[in-house]
């Protein structure tokens, strides 16, 4: 095929692919235009996840009649005049490609009125071509209506996700801009129903309540402004960091709830995200991440925003100084607002909750472990109530039980040798003797495995027990995650949950799997939503397994629980009956084996 110049229409469609990836991309560009126009009230309306309709209305300055059609031409903008302006960009938009790209892949209606004019302008575009332009009455501001996105590009249209997924991307986009501009009132409407609304008070905490819920917002502390002179910049240059960050009591399963802004622009920056995580060093458990909304302001000359087609990434002149400023500001906010832990009550040189279980030796820091079952005169231990609630202990077969033993079950082949319980170490590990060695069993991981196999068996038989709550629980989740939960309500119903939308980003939980009846339902549901965020393309059975693993992890006996001899014996017997007893559902080992020869070698008994 000979080389030739592509038609303008085809060039426009190719160029649009860099700007308009999905409906959320259209919302982003139109919202940015509204913000640049000085709007204080922005309303976004979508139908079918934005695939059929996107309407963005603002009360900004509007577009003059003489320039309205020109605004839809490629490379038409009022925000740049020369190459020097690229070095100091103060607006969100600047390339002059957004409106032209959107119009080339959809049908666009623009109704606008410039503040200094007496009447407005109505323009209609189809496939990038201007169909009509006329005068119309309206208040100052602009309404952009985008219909039938990608209608002439079936190849692009078929790669869009489900309506719920596309809604979720729009929700996340609008929520981020609401956080960045708390003085602007944002209203998001999906298919006639308001799904998100900020008050526009100028108070970021008010937006946090709208976005994450009152409970989560109450666990976030303000990150004050921290100014640090950039090492490679002029002396008057500075870096400002402010926003909100969660206390260690509020965390997330991944980094998706770390929201970053640079000069009011939402960005994706792995180094800045790592700076926030590093500020929590030793404060959060490994594998858990904070919830944070961090604003970074630097002089426009110190940052390049023209390095990504969608303007989602930036490049700093002095990246190390920005990293340091973010890390120090967040860390300072945490340390200033964290309450020091109370000192434990000491009785006889040991914490009161360990009396009678672990005693110090005279010769070293090591501990000895009780090897016999607790006597009847000893009070009930801490773990007993929780153990009975979860329902794993076989009290009929436990030592010391007065109940008649149940009929012997059909013999099964065990995947573990018969183990003899010796005691508990550090309130976390069960010591057991087996043939030719010693087994050190992680009580939490072992209990997870037992619960996992029980739930799987019940699920396969469609017999997962569900328990209705006496008082239904209202749970608020992040607005950008609502679509994930709505998409999986049927799947969660099959697993024993009964959840229904209650307006906005609030849901009403009426029933849960019977195993979770005493759990913190709100916290559990938020963790399940975080698990669903791990991938929206997962197969249903993978999502079901992910939710069940979360249930097991929450309800398994935790490290630090004192267990009676009968409870330890019950757990080990149940573990022996498991199909895969040596790992928990997450793949972590449930036990460590120390062979007798290895022990004898350590004592010098073997040459």
Homologous superfamily of the 380-402+412-532+540-607 domain (CATH): MutL, C-terminal domain, dimerisation subdomain (3.30.1540.20)
Which stretch of 274-288, 394-408, 456-470, 492-506 has the lowest confidence by average pLDDT?
A: 394-408
Q: Which residue has the higher pLDDT, 241 or 380?
A: 241
**CB of 262 closer than 8 Å to CB of 314:** yes
Distances (CA, A) of 171 to 39, 48, 53, 544, 572: 19, 13, 15, 25, 47
The average pLDDT across 234-245 equals 75
Ranges for all domains in the chain classified under CATH 3.30.1540.20: 380-402+412-532+540-607
- The DSSP element (H or E) to which 397 belongs, if any, is none
Q: Burial of 231 by CB count in 10 Å (0-12 exposed, 13-18 middle, 19+ buried)?
A: exposed
Give 421's strand partners.
432
- Which of 497, 494, 413 shows the shortest CA–CA distance to 460? 494
The average pLDDT across 283-295 equals 88
The average pLDDT across 391-396 equals 38
d(CA 285, CA 86): 43
Q: Where are the alpha helices (DSSP H) in 98-162?
A: 98-104, 154-157
Indicate the class that CATH gives domain 8-201. alpha beta
- Residue 41 has phi, psi (to 5 degrees) of -145, 115
Tell me the residue length of the chain: 607
Q: Which residue has the higher pLDDT, 516 or 38?
A: 38
pLDDT, residue 401, reads: 33
* DSSP conformation class of 31: H
d(CA 135, CA 112): 10
pLDDT, residue 150, reads: 86
pLDDT, residue 236, reads: 37
pLDDT tens per residue across span 349-368: 333 343 333 333 333 333 33
Q: Which residue has the higher pLDDT, 483 or 387?
A: 483
d(CA 444, CA 383): 12
Banded pLDDT at 104 (limits 50, 70, 90): confident
For residue 350, what are its two tokens? Answer: 């040991």
Average pLDDT, the chain: 79
The answer on pLDDT for 421 being more than 60 is: yes
Ranges for all domains in the chain classified under CATH 3.30.230.10: 219-337
Ranges for all domains in the chain classified under CATH 3.30.565.10: 8-201
pLDDT tens per residue across span 469-478: 988 999 988 8
The average pLDDT across 325-332 equals 92
Largest CA distance in the chain: 101
* DSSP conformation class of 150: T
For residue 263, what are its two tokens? Answer: 């000069």
pLDDT tens per residue across span 161-179: 888 889 989 999 999 999 9
Give the pairing type, strands 367-369 and 350-351. Answer: unpaired
pLDDT tens per residue across span 561-603: 888 998 998 999 888 888 888 888 888 889 888 888 888 888 8
Give 476's strand partners.
506
Q: Residue 419 region, left (φ>0) first, then alpha (ψ -120 to 50), else beta?
A: beta
Residue written as token pair 């040459």: 607
- In CATH, the number for domain 219-337 is 3.30.230.10
Banded pLDDT at 32 (limits 50, 70, 90): very high
d(CA 183, CA 349): 56
For residue 324, what are its two tokens? Answer: 């340091």
The answer on pLDDT for 347 being more than 60 is: no
Which stretch of 61-70, 131-140, 233-242 has the lowest confidence by average pLDDT?
A: 233-242
pLDDT, residue 15, reads: 58
């Amino acid at each position: 095929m000979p080389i030739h110049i592509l038609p303008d229409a085809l060039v426009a469609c190719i160029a649009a692919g860099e700007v308009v990836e999905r409906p959320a991309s259209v919302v982003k560009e139109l919202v940015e235009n509204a913000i640049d126009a000085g709007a204080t009230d922005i309303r976004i309306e979508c139908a079918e996840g934005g695939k059929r309709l996107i309407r963005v209305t603002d009360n900004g300055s509007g577009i003059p009649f003489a320039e309205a059609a020109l605004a839809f031409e490629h490379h038409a903008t009022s925000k740049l005049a020369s190459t020097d302006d690229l070095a100091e960009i103060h607006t969100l938009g600047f390339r002059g490609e957004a409106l032209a790209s959107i119009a080339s892949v959809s049908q666009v209606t623009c109704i606008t009125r410039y503040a200094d004019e007496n009447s407005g302008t109505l323009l209609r575009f189809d496939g990038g071509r201007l169909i009509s332009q006329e005068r119309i009455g309206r208040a100052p501001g602009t309404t952009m209506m985008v219909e039938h996105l990608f209608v002439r590009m079936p190849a692009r249209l078929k790669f869009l996700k489900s309506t719920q997924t596309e809604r979720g991307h729009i929700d996340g986009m609008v929520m981020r801009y609401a956080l960045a501009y708390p003085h602007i009132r944002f209203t998001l409407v999906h298919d006639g129903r308001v799904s998100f609304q900020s008050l526009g008070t100028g108070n970021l905490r008010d937006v946090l309540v709208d976005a994450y819920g009152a409970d989560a917002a109450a666990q976030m502390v303000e990150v004050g402004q921290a100014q640090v002179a950039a090492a490679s910049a002029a002396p008057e240059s500075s870096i400002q960091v402010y926003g909100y960050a969660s206390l260690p009591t509020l965390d997330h399963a991944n980094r998706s709830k770390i929201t970053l802004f640079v000069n009011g622009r939402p960005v994706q920056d792995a180094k800045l995200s790592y700076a926030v995580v590093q500020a929590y060093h030793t404060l959060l458990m490994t594998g858990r991440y904070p919830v944070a909304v961090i604003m970074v302001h630097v002089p426009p000359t110190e940052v390049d925003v023209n390095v990504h087609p969608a303007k989602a990434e930036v490049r700093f002149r002095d990246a190390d100084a920005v990293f340091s400023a973010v890390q120090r500001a967040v860390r300072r906010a945490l340390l200033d607002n964290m309450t020091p832990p109370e000192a434990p009550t000491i009785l006889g040189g040991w914490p009161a909750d360990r009396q009678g279980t672990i005693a110090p030796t005279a010769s070293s820091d090591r501990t000895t472990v009780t090897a016999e079952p607790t006597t009847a005169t000893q009070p009930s231990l801490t773990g007993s109530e929780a153990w009975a609630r979860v329902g794993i202990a076989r009290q009929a077969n436990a030592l010391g039980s007065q109940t008649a033993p149940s009929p012997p079950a059909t013999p099964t082949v065990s995947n573990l040798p018969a183990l003899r319980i010796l005691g508990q170490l550090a309130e976390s590990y069960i010591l057991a003797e087996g043939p030719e060695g010693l087994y050190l069993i992680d009580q939490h991981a072992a209990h997870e495995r037992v619960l996992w196999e029980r739930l799987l068996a019940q699920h396969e038989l469609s017999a997962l027990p569900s328990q209705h709550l006496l008082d239904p629980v209202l749970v608020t989740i992040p607005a950008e995650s609502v679509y994930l939960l709505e998409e999986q309500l049927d799947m969660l119903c099959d697993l024993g949950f009964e959840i229904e939308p209650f307006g906005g980003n609030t849901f009403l939980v009426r029933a849960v799997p019977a195993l979770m009846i005493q759990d913190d339902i709100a916290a559990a549901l938020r963790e399940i939503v975080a698990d669903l965020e791990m991938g929206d393309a997962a197969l249903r059975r993978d999502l079901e397994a992910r939710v069940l693993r979360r249930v097991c992890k929450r309800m398994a006996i935790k490290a630090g629980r004192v267990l009676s001899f009968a409870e330890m014996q019950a757990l080990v017997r149940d573990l022996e009956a498991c199909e895969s007893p040596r790992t928990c559902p997450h793949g972590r080992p449930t036990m460590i084996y120390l062979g007798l020869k290895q022990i004898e070698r350590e004592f010098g008994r073997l040459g």
